[in-house]
Structure 1
Amino acid sequence: MDSSTFFSQMALDLHDEPTAERTIERIAEYARMATSCDDAGIMLVHARNQVETAAATSQRVGESHNLQIMHDQGPCLDAIEGEPIYCSPDVANDDRWLKWGPAVAELGMRSALSLRLETRTRRYGSLNLYAERCNAFDVDDIAVGTIFVRHAAVALANAHNEEGLQVAIDARKLIGQAQGILMERYDLDADRAFEFLRRQSQAHNVKLRSVAAWVVENRSSPAANFEPDVAPSDEPAVGQPA
């Protein structure tokens, strides 16, 4: 399969994955096919100092990532914050990562290639490739990896956007359903029903969709009070008219 066909097929397959989580897993699987690596993994960054292994083609990939977090050094972490590409032909003797390199070499990994996973507007983390032999990655692998990671970042961004949109759509449906329950039970109009949900959300410091979910789940319990706490005295409980 030539490179254009490979990337076209990858784009279609990633687009068909139902969740962002599954998209990430497939990116790692495709990365192993695209380059001269034995294993691949993805580290995602959620906050300034919060990273996680989101995908790994083997247990030792996760162990390698954990070693980087423990020692606070390694190409995967550096690719997120430093240069966009880090390649190590021999991790056991790489002066850049004196603690991580020898430790990961004991796992049977001798070469590493890490590439930043990002779009123009968001930095997601790093794609990390490992090989059991030294000098595994050449300039062609780096070139392919650079192209690959761009496709992967776009697929990941689309998955996150679609998943976020679906969550928003589901939340609106849930809120509408809760409004309908309150309107029917207590003869409220739509505005008063929504205002009740909003006040409960603010009073208990929970998301509006959480209040709506509670109303829907407890629609057959007219005497119930909203959880996690009893509604304030100046607010009607869910089981009482607004």
Structure 2
Amino acid sequence: MDRAAAEGVPVEGATSSSPDGSAADGLPTADVFARLAIELHDSGGIEETVDAVVGFALQALGCSHAGVALAARGRRLEIPAVTDPIVAEIYQSQMTRGDGPLTVCLRDQTPVLIADSATDHRWPEWSTQVGALGVRSVFDVPLRTAAGTVGVLGLYSNRPDAFSVDDQAIAHILARHASVAVANARHEQTLHQAVDARKLVGQAMGILMERFDLDADRAFEVLKRYSQDTNQKLRDVAQNLIDTRKLPGR
């Protein structure tokens, strides 16, 4: 049984293995993926995490380009890691149009394979664009966790039929590692931001308490009122007070 069958992964537009046999030998072993998992776990943040994912994709799959697009609030996409400007251009055009394999992969949470951009006519304008950039094969894989889709791993090659069945299976394994790593990195980032916000608010409250002889509850109420009146986050009001020693509008 090949790896894709073992994974049980449905692929839109999937084809059989490429005739060049690129996935036959030297495929990543369990030890290689274990080392990748450790590297992702030790990454310092979201940017470092997706950089590691992209670098591994280039080595393990032999693709010409790779990138990761992350879903922000409202399924708006961010582009934190690409191997070169070509991928950023491909991503940006789909984000602008709101259509293409990347947006379909994110929306439907399903992988999308383009065996050859010269003969695939599902997105004619997009196919023309990537063809002009020299991209012939595309494989977009969703990054999913139990909470939902966190982004898309995009793989690109200047050869048609570049992603064999084994390559697709490896991409899915990589996407699973990447999904967990990105989710963890985002969680850590949120925790750090929350701690920083509490520190800023506490510092701003101290300024108000000293200047206006307020107790802690009253100082917090003042910050909260200015936050509501100016439609700014409490953290931003606190930062402004710390920087300027003034409340907004005073």
Partner residue in 1 for 2:63 = 37
User: Post-superposition shift, 1:54?
Assistant: 2.7
1:137-190 Cα deviation digits (max 9, x unpaired):
111011111111011011000011000010000110111112222223333221
Identity score, percent: 41
- 8 Å CA contact 2:53–2:174 kept in 1: the answer is no
Name the amino acid aligned to 1:160: R
Name the amino acid aligned to 1:74: G
User: Post-superposition shift, 1:125?
Assistant: 2.2
Please report the TM-score for the alignment, with normalisation by the length of structure 1. Answer: 0.84
1:171-230 Cα deviation digits (max 9, x unpaired):
1011111222222333322112212211221222211112211222234xxxx4x22x34
User: Post-superposition shift, 1:47?
Assistant: 5.0
Please report the TM-score for the alignment, with normalisation by the length of structure 2. Answer: 0.81
- 8 Å CA contact 1:85–1:116 kept in 2: the answer is yes
Q: Distance in 1 between matches of 2:111 and 2:189?
A: 29
Bigger shift: residues 11-20 or 170-179:
11-20
Partner residue in 2 for 1:116 = 142
Q: 1:164 aligns with which of 176, 182, 190?
A: 190
Find the structure with the greater CA-based Rg: 1
For structure 2, the residue ranges without an aligned partner over 5 or more in a row are 1-25
- 8 Å CA contact 1:71–1:99 kept in 2: the answer is no
Q: Distance in 1 between matches of 2:238 and 2:78?
A: 32
Supply the RMSD in Å over aligned alpha carbons.
2.1
Pairing 1:106–2:143 present: no
Q: Distance in 1 between matches of 2:143 and 2:154?
A: 10
Q: Distance in 2 between matches of 1:66 and 1:75?
A: 12
User: Post-superposition shift, 1:102?
Assistant: 2.8
User: Post-superposition shift, 1:22?
Assistant: 2.8
Answer 1 or 2: higher relative contact order, Cα 8 Å, separation at least 6: 2
Q: Distance in 1 between matches of 2:118 and 2:95?
A: 17
